[in-house]
Structure 1
Amino acid sequence: MRQGFDNDTYIASQAEHIKERIAQFGGKLYLEFGGKLFDDFHASRVLPGFEPDSKFRMLKSLADDVEIIITINANHIEKNKARGDLGITYDEDVLRLADIFRSSGFLVGAVVLTQYSGQPAADQFRRRLNMLGITCKLHYPIEGYPHDIDLIVSEEGYGKNEFVETTRPLVVVTAPGPGSGKLATCLSQLYHEHKRGVAAGYAKFETFPVWNLSLNHPVNIAYEAATVDLDDANIIDPFHLEAHGVTTVNYNRDVEAFPVVKALMEKILGESPYQSPTDMGVNMVGYAICDDEACREAARMEIVRRYFAAASDVKRTGCGQEQVDKLKAIMQKVGVTKDQSPARSAALLKEQTTGAPAGAMVLPDGSVVTGKTSTRLGAASSLMMNALKAVTGVDMELEVISNDAIEPISRLKTSQLGSANPRLHPEETLIALSITSASSEIAERVLAGLPKLRGCDAFFSVIISSSDEALFKKLGINVCCEPKFERSGYYHR
């Protein structure tokens, strides 16, 4: 794949910039960490060359100086709020994050329950944390937040919150999702630190929008597409333009909140170190773009993916048409259509000629391979096998998986597991391929081609099953589906 981003440059420059910000505040910095820390696949798609764990690797280079605070909104626990990408609740994700941090050598200082007002589910989670030996602190709702500055920055406001004792110069405040109280936790900690005579500062780490790219750069517009469900937008930072005479891009929510944040910092610190929301950021991602056109093209493709994902969701749920309409407008804004990927026309043509669901994939060399529904394999499985053959140089007509591996799986599905469909799904196909590879060098060679499909774009003429889509994503393959079901009916799995 054409690379547009220098990952090594990014990690080095980002770590150095954070060190400079720590020094600016006398050796103690609370860093609000927005976005995904471990698995930022959006960034890796729009900035080809950015590794999904780049931010985590950057933090690891500072590990001896880092302490982690994980925040979670008590109301989210009560409502069983879940991460859509992982399918687990926010409280479970807190434990997952803590495990990942600890296994990588990071010090997890505490979990902070924000907006705590005696919620029963939050109390149960507190007991669970205590049983696991994880420090848990409580932060309470503050009447008049965020506008009653005098009350917020007082012993009746931040002063009531439980303080997290930290020992490292860089305190990273992260969370399982938005609305968890990261900013409030950082400012509450600043209040308590300064009451104790400790010099400390605050900064924010958000990857998108990229502040030093233009407002209409496809990478920034792709972020609008990714957050279309939030009804927010990228805008020019008016505070930065007024204070410094430089045009930068920021998120409208951050711009709207800045006057309050600035007033809170002035109340806590005596004066605000920042004149704009852009000043608060430490993001260096824009400086590591090494091929702007490659990133522009990748971002345009991501916008189209977001459109098809939203259109398919509308077909599944009947909700979200307004998001599809917004994405259509965004596509028009950047000059792309639904046929941005050649895989779409190839998949639809294959379906037309075979009379059954089909798929197509753009391979790393730019060629397109297709897959059709057969008696043994579904369209997703057929496409995966044909793509693997193509990237490993195996004859497309060659039967790589033996019937001895396929038949028992098909028989088990129909006779014991209650399935009416004997065709193998992609995961079952990989199992059959793996079994065959024990006695076939060709099958072993084809199986070894899986990493070569990472980053490829696949398109299907119908909405594929959630399990098939999940497997493709696990393999790093981007999936789009025509927003229609394979068969008519009311219930679709």
Structure 2
Amino acid sequence: MRIGFDNDKYIALQAEHIRNRIDQFGGKLYLEFGGKLFDDYHASRVLPGFEPDTKIRMLKNLIDDVEIIVAINANDIEKSKVRGDLGITYDDDVLRLMDIFRSMGFLVGSIVITHYANQPAADAFRHRLDSLGITSRLHYPIAGYPYDIDHIVSDEGYGKNEFVETSRPLVVVTAPGPGSGKMATCLSQLYHEHKRGVTAGYAKYETFPVWNLPLKHPVNVAYEAATVDLDDANIIDPFHLEAYGQTTVNYNRDVEIFPVLKAMMERISGSSPYQSPTDMGVNMAGSAIVDDEVVCDAARMEIVRRYFQTAVEVKRTGVGHAQVEKLELLMNQAGVNASLSPARSAALLKEEMTGRPAGAMVLPNGAVVTGKTSTLLGAASSLMMNALKGVAGVDDGIDVISDNAIEPICRLKTERLHSKNPRLHSDETLIALSISSATDPLAAQLIEHVDDLRGCDAFFSVIISSTDEKLYRTLGINVCCEPKYEQHRYYHK
């Protein structure tokens, strides 16, 4: 895979920049972490060379100075809001995050339950935290938020929130997802710190949009594509342009709220250290790009992926047509179309030739392999096997798993498990391959090359099953599907 981003340089620059920001505020900084602290696969796709766990690795450089607060919105607990990428509720994700942070040696100071208004599910979650020995604090809805500054920055506003005692210079505030109240948590802490005579500051760590790349740079356009459901838009930061005469990029919500945020900081501490929303950021990603052509190509491909993901979701749910239209505009801005990946044309051609669903994948060396639907294997399974043969250097015509090994599994599915589809899914195919590897060196050879498919792009001529999609994503393979079903029916699993 081509590399366009210097990960080590980024970690060093970012850690140094955060240390400088801590010093700017006299040794205490509340840092709002936007996006994902780890498993940031969007960043790793659009900035080839960026590792999914880069941000948490960067924080490990500061580990003795770091304390983590996790914020969760009580309304999200009440609604059992689910993380789309993990399929778990936000409250369960809080515990997952805590386990990960603690396993890496980080101090997790407290859980802040924001927007608390006696929600029964939030009370139950707090009791659960108590039983686990986890400290939690409550933050309440504030009337007139965010515009009634006099009320918000008062003992009846932020002053009513429970204060989180912290002991480290860098307090990282993170959350399971957007809308959790991270910024309000930071500002509430600043209010309480100031009342206690402690000088503290606030900053924001958002990877995207990249402030020192052009507005229409593919990396920034890819961010708009990724957040199309939030209706975010990248814009020139007018406050930064006015204050410094420098053109920088931010997104609309931060620009819109900045005057209010600045007024709050002025009310809390007497003055604002920032003249623009760009000032608040500490992101150094743009300074670690070492090959702009590579990251541009990767970002354009990501825009197309987002288009197909959204088009498939519209097919599944019947809603979101406006999002598809916006993504079509973003593709036009980036100068690409839906057929950017050669895997798409290869998959559609294979379907046309065989009359059945098919798939294709671009291997690391640029070669394109295909997979067809057979009596024993689905298109995803067939493609998986052919891709593994491709990266392992095994002839495509060799049957690594014999039909004699596959047929009993197919019979088990239909005769005992009552499945209507006898064909093996891709996870079942990998299990069969793994079993065969105990006695077949060729099967063992293919298993050794599974990780070589990470980062590859696969395209299918129909919407594949959730089982196959999950397996592909677990292996780090980027999946796109034509927004159509294999069969015409009303209910699809």
TM-score, with normalisation over the residues of structure 2?
0.99
1:357 corresponds in structure 2 to: 357
Aligned to 1:376: 376
User: What do residues 197-249 of structure 1 show as CA deviations (whole Å, max 9, x unaligned)?
Assistant: 11110000000000000000000000000011111200000000000110000
Alignment partners' CA distance in 2, 1:323 and 1:76: 24
Deviations 1:336-360 (A, max 9, x none): 0111000000000000001100000
Whichever residue aligns with residue 235 of structure 1, its letter is I
Deviation for aligned residue 1:403: 3.4
1:74 lines up with 2:74 in the alignment: yes
Q: Which residue of 2 aligns with 1:399?
A: 399
Q: Is 1:14 paired with 2:11? A: no
**Structure 2 Cα separation of the partners of residues 488 and 332 of structure 1:** 31
Q: Where in structure 2 are the equivalents of 1:90-101 lying within 5 Å? A: 90-101=90-101
Counterpart mapping for 1:86-485 below 5 A: 86-485=86-485
Cα distance per residue 1:98-156 (max 9 Å; x no partner)? 11101110111000011111111100001000111110100011111111111111111
Secondary structure of the 2:337 match is coil
Quick one: which amino acid aligns to residue 221 of structure 1? V
The DSSP-based 3-state class of the residue aligned with 1:380 is helix
Specify the SS of the correspondent of 1:385: helix
Please show how residues 34-45 of structure 1 align to structure 2 within 5 Å.
34-45=34-45
Q: CA deviation at 1:38?
A: 1.1
* Code of the aligned partner of 1:455: G
- Give the RMSD, CA atoms, in angstroms: 0.7
- What is the percent sequence identity of the aligned residues? 76
Return the alpha-carbon distance in structure 2 between the equivalents of residues 458 and 370 of structure 1: 9
The CA deviation string for residues 346-384 of structure 1, in whole angstroms up to 9 with x for no partner, is 000000001100000011111100000111111000001
Query: Helix, strand or coil for the counterpart of 1:83?
Result: coil
- C-alpha distance in 2, partners of 1:15/1:417? 53
**SS in structure 2 opposite 1:348?**
helix
C-alpha contact 1:473 1:479 (8 A) present in aligned 2: yes
Please state how far the C-alpha of 1:169 moved relative to its aligned partner: 0.5
Q: Which residue of 2 aligns with 1:62?
A: 62
The one-letter amino acid paired with 1:400 is V
Following the alignment from structure 1 to structure 2, what is the Cα–Cα distance between the partners of residues 40 and 347? 28
What letter corresponds to residue 232 of structure 2 in structure 1? D
Conserved? CA contact 1:405–1:435, under 8 Å: no
Q: Secondary structure at the match of 2:479?
A: strand
1:50 aligns with 2:54: no
Q: How far apart, in 2, do the equivalents of 1:319 and 1:146 lie?
A: 31
SS of the equivalent of 1:118 reads coil
Post-superposition Cα deviations, 1:382-441, rounded to whole Å, max 9, x if no partner, equal 001000001010011111113343233212111111112211100000000000000011
Between the aligned partners of 2:461 and 2:403, the Cα distance in structure 1 is 27
Equivalent position SS for 1:88: coil
Q: Which residue identity does 1:476 align to in structure 2?
A: G
**1:2 matched to which residue of 2?**
2
SS in 1 for 2:409: helix
| Structure 1 CA distance for aligned equivalents of residues 153 and 313 of structure 2 | 44
Q: Provide runs of 4+ in structure 1 moved above 2 Å.
A: 402-405
Helix, strand or coil for the counterpart of 1:401?
coil
Structure-1 separation of matches of 2:179 and 2:385: 42
Mapped partners of 2:206, 2:153: distance in 1: 25
Question: Could you say what secondary structure the match of 2:172 adopts?
Answer: strand
Residues 301-355 of structure 1: CA deviation (Å, up to 9, x unaligned): 0000011111111111111111101111111111101110000000000000011
The one-letter code sitting in structure 1 at the alignment partner of 2:105 is G
- For residues 42 and 408 of structure 2, the distance between their equivalents in structure 1, rounded to whole angstroms, comes to 39
Q: Secondary structure at the match of 2:488?
A: coil
Distance 1:5 1:216 in 2: 19
Q: Distance in 2 between matches of 1:15 and 1:467?
A: 39
Q: How many residues align?
A: 493
Gaps of 5+ in 1: none
1:25·1:200 contact (CA, 8 Å) conserved in 2? yes
SS at match of 1:82: coil
Shift of 1:37: 1.1
Amino acid corresponding to residue 138 of structure 2 in structure 1: L
Distance 1:148 1:480 in 2: 46
* Residues in 2 aligned to 1:222 and 1:83: alpha-carbon distance in whole angstroms: 21
Aligned residue identity for 2:457: D
What's the secondary structure of 2:105's corresponding residue?
Answer: coil
Q: Please give the per-residue CA displacement for 1:21-54, whole angstroms capped at 9, x wherever unaligned.
A: 0011011100000001111110011001111110
Cα-to-partner distance string for 1:428-463 (whole Å, 9 max, x where unaligned): 000000000000111001111111100000000000
Counterpart amino acid of 1:142? Answer: I
Aligned-pair CA distance for 1:465? 0.5
Q: Which runs of 5+ in 2 are unaligned?
A: none
Q: Provide, for residues 252-271 of structure 1, a one-character-per-residue CA deviation record: whole Å limited to 9, x for no partner.
A: 00000000000000011110
How far apart are 1:492 and its partner, in Å? 1.2
Equivalent residue of 2:97, what SS?
Answer: helix
Question: Residue 489 of structure 1 aligns to a residue in which SS?
Answer: coil
> Matched residue of 1:322: which SS?
helix
- Could you tell me how far apart the structure 2 residues matched to 1:432 and 1:350 are? 25
Distance in 1 of aligned mates of 2:232 and 2:398: 51
Match of 1:487 in 2: 487
The separation in 2 between residues aligned to 1:405 and 1:11, in whole angstroms, is: 48
* 1:361 alignment partner, SS class: strand
TM norm structure 1: 0.99
Q: Structure 2: how far apart are the matches of 1:154 and 1:462?
A: 57
Measure, in 2, the Cα distance between the counterparts of 1:435 and 1:205. Answer: 46
Quote the Cα distance in structure 2 between the aligned partners of 1:356 and 1:411: 22
- The question of whether the paired residues in 2 share the 8 Å contact of 1:402 and 1:436 is answered with no
Question: What SS does the aligned partner of 2:235 have?
Answer: strand
Query: Is 1:32 paired with 2:40?
Result: no
